[in-house]
Amino acid sequence: MTDQQPAIRLTGLTKEFGAVTAVDHVDLEIAAGEFFSMLGPSGSGKTTVLRLIAGFEQPTAGIIELFGQDVTKRAPFDRDVNTVFQDYALFPHMSVLDNVAYGLRVRGLGRRERNERAMRALASVRLEQMAARKPSQLSGGQRQRIALARATVVQPKVLLLDEPLGALDLKLREQMQVELKEIQRDLGITFIFVTHDQEEALTLSDRIAVFNDGRIEQLGTPAELYERPTSRFVADFVGTSNLFDAERSRDLLGREGHHSVRPEKMTVTRDGLAGEGVVNVPGTVVEAIYLGSGVRLVVDLDDGTRVTVLEQNDRDRIHDDERGDRVVVSWHADDVVHLGTEVLPGISG
Amino acid sequence: MTTHAPAPPGAPANAPGQARDAVPRPRRTPARAASVFLSTHPRTRLALLLSAPLFWLGIVYIVALVLLLVTAFWSVDSFTGEISQTWTLDNIITVVTGSLYQTVTLRTLGVALAVTLIDVLLALPIAFFMAKVASPRMQRILVIAVLTPLWASYLVKAYAWRSVLSQDGILEWLVAPFGGHTPGYGLPATIITLSYLWLPYVILPIYAGLERVPDSLLEASADLGGRTWPTIRLVVFPLVLPAIIAGTIFSFSLSLGDYITVNIVGGANQMLGNLVYTNVGAANNLPLASAIALIPIVIIFGYLFLVRRTGALDNL
């Protein structure tokens, strides 16, 4: 295999369940060693793409290549990819060690050899002392790490992760995100990560594909997706955006097409800001929510547009805005993102 | 983003005293009062819940069983035919040492084991198809199909098999062109008929057991490189073993106690049930019948003990 060869190449991948098209002509290349995320709301087709790559579903049309090899027709056990399942899918009747050693066992490795390797895999997720336990005796975070050890012990070329952090609470989630990233760097294998959590995708990924209605809406690095969304859907799904439709854009910004401005790019003051390219619009504070690290202000602009502004809680913030206060919302023209001219049936603003 | 309507500044929403749709208070009815009483008196609640079933279990079930056991240690006056309530081990000794009883016990045990084995072998693929392959709609249809024979009379089904297995029956007609013959009436016919009769009782628990095995476990096994056979051996089988054992308890114990099927399709063969029947009826020897009836009870207890040691009962 060469460096040029992508780990995964999907060509015209389509999956229909009866009358429903879950995946609609997806073309995608994922580079070797990449941490790649598939992000989208539930029902957007991201999990189906993962299951197609794993081999649990057969595509209606299209080709799946793994390092240049066509694996479309191969059974799951004949593919060099492994999956970390959303519910972990640990075998409840086996000990943790037997769970991790399972992939080696069905490959015909002797007991001593497979237990040794399984112990090493357990050590890599710092759970050697749990080897004799049953999965039911472990916490959610521990089960998650066992599932990871079980999938990586057979040294797959690509690891598929189906919302692996979905069942964990926030603190553990953030901790596991760091660990996942470390493990991926250590192993140097391709991770394909499915999530509906945009923050998680932004934090972890080298690149992200945003799915909507079975298609890839936008493909890019986290910064590209966040700073330059190309559609209303992406602007709204990745982070929070203040969306201006064609009419509002014409009135407020004097531009054609749909536009968005991120809440943190907006500033609220009493009298507005001076400067080149600054847009000042008066409005009334509707809601002021204290977040600890900052304040989220919901402001109704005088033309009726409702915007959300995120103000950092820094020393410069001297005034406390309250409901009903008259304020001026300002942003720089450079921070306005053009979302195209067509009307997209995305999430309403 | 935010979707709620802007509230006018300074006007608090839902101020006290503001007119709202009144929610009616629950009415005080006798039934409600009873519920209140019961919810605060857990012991009364438990007593009301359990007294009827415990009465049934205690009086009707246990007492009848104990009487049976006790009767086995009595004897029958051979002149008057009256039961004499003097304690004796004669019946037990007769049953344990008599060659007739030993032969019939072994025969009954053999039939029960054969029936159980055949039923498990038939039920496993059927239950697997029902639980893991068939569409939800097909699944419902199959469950009904498995249950339907249970609505028909046991006797009708046994006589149906008698006609199928007869010398000019449908089986003979079916296999004769290939040089085969119907087994006729005898032990093979008994095993075939009993396997048919108890099959639903074996399919249903195994089906329920397989239903409880998440599909993701099968996918995980395939994902980790497990082909069909390792997946069945290492993942599916250990997980449904308790369900399989539950099924075997049905087919095994029902076969041990049967005496009608063997009468209808078994030719001259007797099983333990037949001996009990003759001793209660024709021979008028209830104590001996009770002693014979103890044999299957002992066997079943032995079986349950063995099964318990495998840990399979923990999950039932």
> Which value does ipTM take for this structure?
0.83
Task: Mark which of A203, A229, A255 sits at the end of a domain.
Answer: A229
- Is residue A187 located within the same domain as residue A87? yes
- Is residue A16 located within the same domain as residue A42? yes
In a domain, A306, yes or no: yes
- Is residue A288 located within the same domain as residue A211? no
Q: For A200-225, what is the mean pLDDT?
A: 93
CA dihedral of residues A12, A13, A14, A15 (deg, nearest 10)? 170
Which residue reads 């490959």 in tokens? A107
Q: In terms of CA atoms, which chain B residue is nearest residue A241? A: B1
In a domain, B286, yes or no: yes
Q: For B160-185, what is the mean pLDDT?
A: 85
pLDDT band at residue A295, thresholds of 50, 70 and 90? confident
Q: At what angle do helices B237-257 and B99-128 cross, to 10 degrees?
A: 140
pLDDT tens digits for A170-187?
Answer: 888 888 888 889 889 888
In a domain, A199, yes or no: yes
Split into its structural domains, chain A has a count of 2
Instruction: Say yes or no for a CB contact (<8 Å) between B227 and A77.
Output: yes
CA A64/CA A13 separation, integer angstroms: 7
In a domain, A343, yes or no: no
- With 50 as the cut, is the pLDDT of residue B139 above it? yes
Q: A-chain residues within 8 Å CB-CB of B226?
A: 77, 102-103, 106
Mean pLDDT of chain B: 85
- The overall pTM is greater than 0.90: no
pLDDT tens digits for A261-287?
Answer: 999 999 888 888 888 888 899 999 998
- Is residue A19 located within the same domain as residue A164? yes
Q: In terms of CA atoms, which chain A residue is nearest residue B227? A: A77
- With 60 as the cut, is the pLDDT of residue A151 above it? yes
- Is residue A68 located within the same domain as residue A126? yes
Give the domain range for residue A320.
Answer: 237-338
- Is residue A319 located within the same domain as residue A223? no
- With 80 as the cut, is the pLDDT of residue A318 above it? no
Task: Mark which of A229, A261, A277 sits at the end of a domain.
Answer: A229
pLDDT tens digits for B189-241?
Answer: 999 999 999 999 999 999 999 999 999 999 999 999 999 999 999 999 999 99
In a domain, A2, yes or no: no
Q: What percent of chain A has pLDDT over 70?
A: 94
Q: A-chain residues within 8 Å CB-CB of B239?
A: 92-93
Who among A89, A107, A306 is closest to B214 (CB)? A89
- Is residue A162 located within the same domain as residue A295? no
In a domain, A348, yes or no: no
Which CATH number characterizes residue B121's domain?
Answer: 1.10.3720.10
Instruction: Say yes or no for a CB contact (<8 Å) between B224 and A150.
Output: yes
Residue A237 is classified by DSSP as: H
Q: In terms of CA atoms, which chain A residue is nearest residue B232? A: A106
Most trustworthy range by pLDDT among A18-32, A157-171, B165-179:
A18-32
Split into its structural domains, chain B has a count of 1
- Is residue A329 located within the same domain as residue A254? yes
In a domain, B195, yes or no: yes
Say whether A158 sits in a helix, a strand or coil: strand
pLDDT tens digits for A123-146?
Answer: 988 899 999 999 999 998 899 999
- Is residue A268 located within the same domain as residue A300? yes
Helix (H) or strand (E) holding A190: strand A190-195
Q: For B107-126, what is the mean pLDDT?
A: 95
Q: In the prediction, which pLDDT does B93 show?
A: 87
In a domain, B46, yes or no: no
Which CATH number characterizes residue A101's domain?
Answer: 3.40.50.300
Q: In the prediction, which pLDDT does B58 show?
A: 84
In a domain, A279, yes or no: yes
Choice among A153-162, A177-186, B83-92 with the minimum mean pLDDT: B83-92
Pick the more confident residue, B58 or A84: A84
Mean pLDDT of chain A: 88
In a domain, A1, yes or no: no
- Is residue A183 located within the same domain as residue A105? yes
Query: 236-295 in B: which are within 8 Å (CB) of A?
Result: 238-239
- Is residue A175 located within the same domain as residue A123? yes
Q: For A159-163, what is the mean pLDDT?
A: 94
pLDDT tens digits for B40-51?
Answer: 988 988 888 888
Give the minimum alpha-carbon distance from B316 to chain A in angstroms, rounded to a whole number. 15
Which CATH number characterizes residue A321's domain?
Answer: 2.40.50.140
Instruction: Say yes or no for a CB contact (<8 Å) between A300 and B6.
Output: yes
- Is residue A201 located within the same domain as residue A221? yes
In a domain, B104, yes or no: yes
Who among B220, B226, B227 is closest to A89 (CB)? B220
Q: Chain A contact for B19, CB < 8 A?
A: no
Q: A-chain residues within 8 Å CB-CB of B9?
A: 284, 323-324
Query: 265-324 in A: which are within 8 Å (CB) of B?
Result: 284, 286-287, 298, 300, 306, 308, 323-324
Give the domain range for residue B108.
Answer: 84-215+243-315
